[in-house]
Structure 1
Amino acid sequence: MAIQTEALSKQYNGKGGCQNITLQVPKGVVYGFIGPNGAGKSTFVRTLLGLLRPTGGKAELLGKPLGDLEARRKIGYLPELFRYPDWLTGLQLLHTHADLLGLKSSLRPQHFTALLEKVCLSGREKEKIAKYSKGMQQRIGLACALLGDPELIFLDEPTSALDPLGRMEVRSLLAQLKQEGRTVFLNSHLLQEIETVCDQVAIIDQGKLITQGDWRKLCRFQNRYKLIASGLDQEVLSDLPYVIGSELRQNFEPEAGTALKAEWQIEIENTEELPSLVRILSDHGIGVYELTPLEPHLEEIFLYWMNRKEPENVDHR
């Protein structure tokens, strides 16, 4: 495991922070850590990084206990509220971080060039950070986080200051890091970003872990389908076997010479009955234009678990 915690806690005078967080993050994944503002996400990350001392529990990073120097050398970090000396150039900032890492001078030019290309800052490294936009500062921060060739990377809201193109480039970078076998622990309020790049997530609220695992398996919406059909109404749907729930989502204007089409969202009891369902619809004179499975969105799943307001100890991997 890249990260493994057991009842890890960090509270302030017995309040706030994070409480009894037990989770496992496999190596080589992009792992999403999500929750509302003030849920304890940043406290948890800072505790893992040794910036805060835990008040309870234990944890390992890359198989080593918290604070192990060997493990720390293999970790990169981009905080949400970063601030770099704006009188430095981007290149000088990289040299400063390289000094802290003990990176040999002879290795720096090639390493810096590759990093600047990765974060799309090639040609801008000699400009002062004071002239960088917030998005460019975030990019140079990403380069610093990746400077030590880390195995485990913590990114706190890495796309918050980026435009849509910049977010797309960061998503591509995260996919590349995953392909290289690195582990990325990603804090973000942008659920669409998490959904795009992460296979596994943990949801935290009020300092407590609500659930974790493959986010598609955290869903409690089973066997949902989009059905586009003509001549169908709620009464007919209610009488159909196998259908256990339905909702009209949209009506369509009829084309010349055709019946009114409508989009329904239906829930069926057993996917093996889909051929029979289509046949029954046809026997009723219903025109079926489309019947496709509906994949859940992370936002739906997040809201589902937040509304439950009760932690679950099941790991849905």
Structure 2
Amino acid sequence: MDSSAPTSPDPMPSTQPEASPKVIQVRNLSKVYRTGFWLNQKIPTLNQCTLDIYEGETFGLLGQNGAGKTTLLKVLLGIVRPNEGTAMILGKPLGDRSIKHRVGYLPENPYFYDYLTGWELLEYTAGLFQIPPAEQKKRIPDLLDLVGLARSAAQKKQLRRYSKGMMQRIGVAQALINDPDLVFLDEPMSGLDPLGRFQIREIIQSLQQQGKTIFFNSHVLSDVELICDRVGILANGELICVGNLDDLLGMTNLYRAKVRDANPEVLRQWMPDLQFKDGAWEGHLKGHPQDFFASLHLMDAQLVSMSLARPTLEEYFIQQLRIRGIKSSQ
């Protein structure tokens, strides 16, 4: 791991411009569940969480299984009541019913009426929002196109015959049927193969282009690193750090490159720490990347990859858990 990685981050850096409205404001939220025969055992799930989410941003909440991610999301949605603290959603306090039509939600494990077709599910959900039939006829095909489901399959195939990836896509469609301003997605990539994850990422990126505010939980850190404006790490119910990737991982102009079919003597002028590993030359780049590309072209070499020489989000995540003495698996 890069020694320049921050080891004691500011837990609440803010990189959003002050002019951006706050869509979610969380202050000192705590939640304790009671269990046992006499309900005399307390299980703390959230501990004094404070967080702001801004209009139009995509925020990824990271954490291990059991860290409290879903509990925080359910508190914000009004499904679970907190024991302490306050929160505002779209300018209204928790539980205010007037904002429901402006919010979309995909649960981690959605359970729909499996005898319905995908089209019927969207019609049913649209009816809950009192969307006129004429508007439904326009919106449902558009949503099916957005999530990559064929209209014929959605009209004829029952949900019980959907694959995991198809179920996730129809779940995203139902979360968007009311054209929400704020979208909550709980583990949207969970259980998907690489192609399914790529497709869900594309959907989220299309929502970003529409200016939607997106709050999603995940432990697939590579996906979060690609699409989020800011991230937060939740560990044992505590929000231990929040910020964009430059805040958390550190800013650097140093690159690491991997090259094939190149002259190592020439490469060493660009990468003094050059090493041969897994069939390719790699090392830290010294000099301007454009000049390096020109040199590769003259050598007729192949650039395999080039990335910023800083820790990945996964490395940073594990580091933060270790600093706090938290095991990386549960």
TM-score, normalised to structure 2, is 0.74
Deviations 1:79-102 (A, max 9, x none): 001111111111111111112111
C-alpha deviation, 1:232, in angstroms: 11
Contact 1:32 1:185 in 2 (8 A): yes
C-alpha deviation, 1:162, in angstroms: 2.9
| Higher Cα radius of gyration | 1
Deviations 1:41-64 (A, max 9, x none): 001101111110110000011121
Change (3 A) 1:253 1:134: closer
Q: Does 1:250 pair with 2:280?
A: no
C-alpha deviation, 1:304, in angstroms: 2.0
The 5 Å alignment of 1:52-63 reads 52-63=80-91
Contact 1:230 1:262 in 2 (8 A): no
Contact 1:216 1:296 in 2 (8 A): no
Q: Does 1:160 pair with 2:190?
A: yes
Residue number among 30, 35, 50 corresponding to 1:9 in the alignment: 30
Correspondence for 1:286: none
Which blocks of at least 5 consecutive residues in structure 1 are unaligned?
Answer: 234-246, 255-260, 269-273, 276-289, 312-317
- For 2:159 and 2:278, the matched residues in 1 are separated by 55
Q: Does 1:115 pair with 2:136?
A: no
Change (3 A) 1:310 1:150: farther
Q: Does 1:298 pair with 2:313?
A: yes
The 5 Å alignment of 1:18-33 reads 18-33=46-61
Deviations 1:116-151 (A, max 9, x none): 101111321121111111211111111100011000
SS of 2:239's partner is strand
C-alpha deviation, 1:153, in angstroms: 0.5
Correspondence for 1:128: 158
- For 2:183 and 2:139, the matched residues in 1 are separated by 17
Contact 2:229 2:244 in 1 (8 A): yes
Deviations 1:134-176 (A, max 9, x none): 2111111111000110000010111223332222222121111
- For 2:314 and 2:70, the matched residues in 1 are separated by 21
Q: How many equivalent pairs are there?
A: 275
SS of 1:203's partner is strand
C-alpha deviation, 1:227, in angstroms: 7.7
Give the partner amino acid of 1:50: G
Correspondence for 2:19: none
Residue number among 187, 210, 218 corresponding to 2:240 in the alignment: 210
Higher relative contact order (CA 8 A, sep 6+): 2
Contact 1:221 1:296 in 2 (8 A): no
Residue number among 179, 194, 202 corresponding to 1:149 in the alignment: 179
C-alpha deviation, 1:221, in angstroms: 8.0
Contact 1:75 1:150 in 2 (8 A): yes
SS of 1:22's partner is strand
CA RMSD of aligned residues (A): 3.2
Correspondence for 1:283: none
C-alpha deviation, 1:108, in angstroms: 0.6
Contact 1:138 1:161 in 2 (8 A): no
